[in-house]
Amino acid sequence: MDALIQLLVACEKLLRKVGENFWAEKLLQILKESSSSLDKDLIEEIISFYGGMGSFNDLIISHHNDHVVKEKNENRLNNELAKLRNEIYQEAVRLRRV
């Protein structure tokens, strides 16, 4: 559970850094509601971020999306975001099974 919380915190910080407030706020809400532990409903909510149009998976960090980022840094930041998204999803799915 601690691993998932740490991943959520890291991802929320990354999103704030580039000015992606919509998804940063969603992650912050989960963190506020968790109070150091995530119940099954919060884990299901996290997993629900990963499906359909406009989902968390669709997010691309880009100056074209009004993010505060230099074009030369977009690839690195998107790779970091993809890694965090994948780890968050994998950990949430693992915890759902427990």
Q: What pTM value is reported for the model? A: 0.94
User: Is the confidence at residue 71, as pLDDT, over 90?
Assistant: yes
pLDDT for the residue numbered 36: 64
For the chain, the domains span 2-97
- Please compute the mean of the pLDDT values over residues 38-53 and round it to a whole number: 94
The two structure tokens encoding residue 84: 């965090």
- Among residues 32, 10, 34, 16, the alpha carbon closest in space to that of 85 is found at 10
- Please compute the mean of the pLDDT values over residues 14-41 and round it to a whole number: 93
